[in-house]
Amino acid sequence: MLVFPDFIPQYSQSIQRSFKNVLGVETQKKDQSVQRADPLEIVVVYKDGDFAPSQIIIPVTRYIEIQNASKTELMWLVSDNKLLNTDRGYGQGEQLRAQLNDKGTFFVKNKLEPQHSLIITVK
């Protein structure tokens, strides 16, 4: 499980393996998440049946973006948090962006592939 403190914004890798952040330092982690300059947004990438990361803890009021990077699979999100639901399957390059203002643990699944899941804990 990844933990995202207030002072370390994190993004999961979508296309690039690494890049230079605002300090000019290249960063890359085992789970392929990289630091980004925007401290208010967390990115989760859905690709080929997996959410990366699949479990996260984020501070309340942060934005989360869930991107579909899969060439072949649609990402149709269903969740116990209505902000994390989509009304259709999203194709490659499409994303859902929501601000999570309520504390709790939320479960997200791909409606088309229910075994593909994401757990988001907002503290």
Please name each of the domains of the chain with its CATH number: 2-122 (2.60.40.420)
Residue type at 55? Q
3-state secondary structure of 51: strand
Q: Percentage of residues in the chain with pLDDT exceeding 70?
A: 68
Q: What is the pLDDT of residue 41?
A: 86
The tens digit of pLDDT for each residue in 60-115 reads 999 999 999 999 999 999 999 999 999 999 999 999 999 999 999 999 999 999 99
Q: Round to whole Å and give the CA distance between 88 and 102.
A: 24
What integer is the mean pLDDT of 1-25?
39
- CA dihedral (85, 121, 11, 63) positive or negative: positive
The angle subtended at Cα 114 by Cα 110 and Cα 120, nearest 5°, is 60
What is the 3-class SS of 62-100, one letter each residue?
EEEEEEECCCCCCECEEECCHHHCCCCCECCCCEEEEEE
What integer is the mean pLDDT of 44-61?
94
The tens digit of pLDDT for each residue in 55-64 reads 999 999 999 9
Q: What is the pLDDT of residue 38?
A: 57
